A = this chain, B = another copy of it.
Amino acid sequence: MTNRVQIIPKFFRISRDIVAEIQSGRLTTGSQAPSENEIIEKYKVSNTTARKALQEIEREGWVTRIKGKGTYVLNNKVERSVTRILGFTANMREANRVPASKLLSLNVLQDDYPLTINRRQYILKGPLCRIHRLRFADQTPMMIEKRYISLHFCPDIQKLDLEGSLYEIYEKKYGLRLTQVDQMVSAVMMGVDEMVHFGLKQAVPAFRVEGITFCGRELILEMEDSLYRGDQYRFTVKATR
């Protein structure tokens, strides 16, 4: 896909159509994906092409094929690699979802903000800008976040449009390079406030992510306290020596 001049093979185009159906929620978890015969009829392709399309989406983990039964749609959670510095916006774009944000509140605070992370206490020096946002993918609320941003590094950030990617603002508007994010992840039940924000009638398990973003050695740019819906997210990570 890096060479944009190349013609995308037919089976791959078909596989994208099916993935789009899954991502939009029109094909739900546990439902049957189109069969080989349905693909042959709809797209006027050979059975080889139809089979390759189904193999492709199976290889990518969207569906599972059960011999003699059919092809079933798997749980479609957004995957988030936790070892890469990756904003919500970029993560959604990678997952082919349309990101959006709703600013719930914004305050400028004079006090320092402390956070103990990985058994070490850090202090973000005031003044700082606290923002509370709800983040969406294709109109589904996915996570809710509080961010505490240093006004030393980002003067007047509270006057900008804060409904998009903060990481882009840090990098493009303030010329900051994010060097490391130290994160602590807990498994929690969401509270009543979050249920309301997420539009859920029942609480679901969630990931709570507390983090510190550095823009240089020991230079704290921001701190975060976010809640990722457990029914919408899966975190991925590779461990090595």
Contact residues of A with B, CB < 8 Å? 58-62, 64, 74, 77, 79, 82-86, 116-121, 178-189, 205-207, 228, 230, 233-241
5 further A-B contacts with Cβ under 8 Å, apart from A79-B119, A79-B184, A85-B239, are: A59-B120, A117-B236, A180-B240, A181-B239, A183-B237
Question: CB-CB < 8 A to A183: which residues of B?
Answer: 236-239
Q: How far is the CB of A178 from chain B (nearest CB, A)?
A: 8
How would you classify the secondary structure of chain A's contact residues: helix, strand, loop or mixed? strand
| Cβ A237 vs Cβ B83 within 8 A | yes
| Pairs across A and B, CB under 8 Å, 22 listed | A58-B121, A59-B120, A61-B121, A64-B116, A77-B186, A79-B119, A84-B241, A85-B239, A85-B240, A85-B241, A118-B236, A180-B239, A181-B238, A181-B239, A182-B238, A183-B238, A183-B239, A185-B185, A187-B187, A187-B188, A187-B206, A187-B230
Closest to A231 in B: B187
Report, nearest first, the 6 A-B pairs whose CB atoms are least far apart: A61-B119, A187-B230, A181-B239, A205-B205, A185-B235, A187-B205
CA distance A83 to B58 in the complex (A): 27
- For residue A186, which residues in chain B have a CB less than 8 angstroms away from its CB? 77, 230, 234-235
- How far apart are A186's CB and chain B's nearest CB, in angstroms? 5
Q: Which of B77, B83, B238 contacts A238 (CB 8 A)?
A: B83
Which residues does chain B contribute within 8 Å of A239, judged by CB atoms?
Answer: 82-86, 180-181, 183
Is the Cβ of A61 less than 8 Å from the Cβ of B240? no
Chain B contacts for A60, CB-based, 8 A: 119-120
Chain B residue numbers with a CB within 8 Å of A241 are 84-85, 178-179
Known: A119-B61, A230-B186, A238-B181. A83 touches B85 (CB 8 A): no
Which residues of the partner chain B approach A116 to less than 8 Å between Cβ atoms?
A: 61, 64, 74
Please give me the residue from chain B that is nearest to A240 by CB atom. Answer: B180
Q: How far is the CB of A205 from chain B (nearest CB, A)?
A: 4
Bound complex: CA A62 to CA B77 (Å)? 35
